[in-house]
């Protein structure tokens, strides 16, 4: 039955109050459409504006990495504490329960391993249909700036950004640093900026002790940091604190979580630094207390 009465009495238009035209809470993404923003919102907390992504995609280039020998056993207890799961489609289907209901950043480049001649010789490894089928919140593509196959990796990135944009799926540019490159602000600043200019909605890179705030400032979209090789837990937490203070929008961390002495305690401590701004000292204290319980 049509509500003609309600229609007649609809007068509360508050025409003196302008409609909100606030920008989107993540930098550089206001120009995107609803689907992209919705997926970014699933990954980045709307209060802190940050994310803790759990990376366990290492097997696609390294095989069974230490700590990931049995992903079903080691990753499962960490899932509930991660904002996003960063993994391959193989790991996802085999080891991640769909009932986890976590946003997925799907590793979508492939084609090389640590045993091959050249790590930068990658191609697109996942068709967009499969990313959609898996309900990916983002597609992650590795780029190798300055490496032998830089061109291929940038082409992979552009191709997946185009495919993602057709379906509202953001793309994460992952800046791999080849053995001949230096992880300094100049290199990381260039690599992250290139990813953003090609059209990535967010970028993953490494932290550098000097000039990281220039890397984040020069990248017009959010940056998350990779953890890199395992550090003592205190140092890993310090790196998180420094990166966040210097403009990172979160972490996409693997080995420093799943290779920690107590991985669940570690991811909880990392969350406290990233989302609540806990100092390293406090977060380490928290880690030690939780470790006793764990
Ligand atoms: C490496 O193959 C992947 O890109 C990882 O997702 C990335 O390196 C983050 O993991 P970690 O914190 O262990 O460096």
pLDDT tens-place string over residues 42-84: 999 999 999 999 999 999 999 999 999 999 999 999 999 999 9
The number of domains in the chain is 1
Going from the Cα of 290 to the center of ligand 1, the distance in angstroms, rounded, reads 25
248-263 per-residue burial string, b: 16 or more CB within 10 A, e: under 16: bbbbbbbbbbbbbebb
With residue 39 as reference, give the H or E element that holds it. Answer: helix 34-43
The DSSP code for 226 is E
Is residue 110 a part of any domain in this protein?
yes
| Per-residue pLDDT at 7 | 61
At 181, is the pLDDT very low, low, confident or very high (cuts 50, 70, 90)? confident
Query: Can you tell me which atom of ligand 1 is nearest the CA of 255?
Result: 13
Inter-residue contact 100 to 79 (CB < 8 Å) = yes
Residue 216 pLDDT exceeds 90: yes
pLDDT digits (tens, 9 = 90+) for 183-206: 899 999 999 999 999 999 999 999
- Could you tell me what percent of the chain has a pLDDT over 70? 95
Is residue 275 a part of any domain in this protein?
no
Q: What is the mean pLDDT of the chain?
A: 94
Residue bearing the CA closest to ligand 1, atom 9: 226
Going from the Cα of 232 to the center of ligand 1, the distance in angstroms, rounded, reads 17
Name, in order, each residue with C-beta under 8 angstroms of 231's C-beta and a sequence gap of 6 or more: 239, 256
- Work out the number of other CB atoms within 10 angstroms of the CB of residue 79: 17
Q: Is the CB of 122 under 6 A from ligand 1?
A: no
Residue 3 pLDDT exceeds 70: no
Residue 18 pLDDT exceeds 80: no
Mean pLDDT of 31-50: 97
Residue bearing the CA closest to ligand 1, atom 1: 58
| Per-residue pLDDT at 89 | 98
Is residue 273 a part of any domain in this protein?
no
Going from the Cα of 217 to the center of ligand 1, the distance in angstroms, rounded, reads 23
Is residue 13 a part of any domain in this protein?
no
Is residue 195 a part of any domain in this protein?
yes
Mean pLDDT of 113-130: 92
At 1, is the pLDDT very low, low, confident or very high (cuts 50, 70, 90)? low
Listed residue (105, 52, 44, 54) closest to 272, CA to CA: 52
Q: Is 204 noted as a catalytic residue in this protein?
A: yes
At 14, is the pLDDT very low, low, confident or very high (cuts 50, 70, 90)? confident
Place of tokens 């400032």: 217
| Per-residue pLDDT at 17 | 81
At 6, is the pLDDT very low, low, confident or very high (cuts 50, 70, 90)? low
Domain membership of residue 59 as a residue range: 29-261
Going from the Cα of 272 to the center of ligand 1, the distance in angstroms, rounded, reads 21
Q: What is the rounded CA–CA span in Å between residue 149 and residue 188?
A: 18
Mean pLDDT of 91-100: 96
Q: Where are the beta strands (DSSP E) in 125-254?
A: 138-143, 171-175, 202-205, 223-226, 250-253
Query: Can you tell me which atom of ligand 1 is nearest the CA of 230?
Result: 13
| Per-residue pLDDT at 139 | 98
Q: Is the CB of 226 under 6 A from ligand 1?
A: yes
Residue bearing the CA closest to ligand 1, atom 6: 55
Is residue 153 a part of any domain in this protein?
yes
- Could you tell me what percent of the chain has a pLDDT over 90? 83
Is residue 289 a part of any domain in this protein?
no
Is residue 224 a part of any domain in this protein?
yes
Q: Token digits for 279?
A: 């100092």
Q: What is the rounded CA–CA span in Å between residue 53 and residue 187?
A: 23
pTM: 0.93
With residue 225 as reference, give the H or E element that holds it. Answer: strand 223-226
CATH code where residue 133 lies: 3.20.20.70
To test the pocket of ligand 1, the residue of 54, 55, 60, 260 to mutate (highest count of ligand atoms within 8 Å of its CB) is 55
| Active-site entry in 204, 229, 230, 291 | 204
């Amino acid at each position: 039955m049509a509500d003609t009465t309600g229609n007649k009495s609809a007068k509360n238009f508050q025409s003196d109050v302008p409609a909100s035209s606030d920008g989107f809470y993540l930098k550089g993404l206001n120009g995107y459409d609803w689907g992209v923003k919705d997926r970014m919102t699933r990954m980045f907390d709307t209060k802190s504006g940050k994310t803790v992504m759990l990376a366990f995609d290492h097997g696609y280039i390294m095989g069974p990495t230490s700590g990931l020998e049995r992903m079903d056993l080691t990753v499962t207890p960490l899932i509930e504490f991660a904002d996003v799961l960063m993994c391959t489609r193989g790991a996802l289907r085999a080891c991640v329960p769909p009932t986890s209901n976590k946003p997925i950043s799907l590793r979508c480049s492939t084609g090389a391993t640590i045993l091959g001649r050249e790590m930068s010789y990658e191609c697109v490894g996942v068709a967009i249909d499969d990313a959609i089928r898996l309900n990916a919140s983002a597609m992650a593509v590795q780029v190798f700036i300055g490496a032998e196959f830089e061109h291929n990796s940038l082409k992979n990135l552009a191709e997946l950004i185009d495919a993602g944009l057709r379906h509202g799926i953001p793309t994460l540019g992952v800046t791999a640093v080849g053995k001949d490159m230096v992880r300094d602000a100049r290199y990381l600043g260039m690599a992250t900026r290139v990813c953003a200019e090609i059209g990535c909605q967010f970028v993953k890179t490494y932290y550098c002790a000097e000039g990281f705030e220039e890397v984040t400032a020069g990248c017009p979209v959010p940056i998350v940091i990779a953890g890199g090789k395992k550090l003592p837990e205190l140092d890993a937490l310090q790196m998180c604190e420094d990166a966040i203070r210097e403009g990172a929008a979160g972490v996409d961390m693997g080995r420093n979580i799943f290779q920690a002495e107590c991985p669940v305690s570690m991811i909880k401590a990392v969350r406290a630094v990233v989302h609540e701004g806990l100092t390293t000292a406090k977060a380490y204290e928290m880690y030690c207390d939780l470790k006793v319980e764990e």
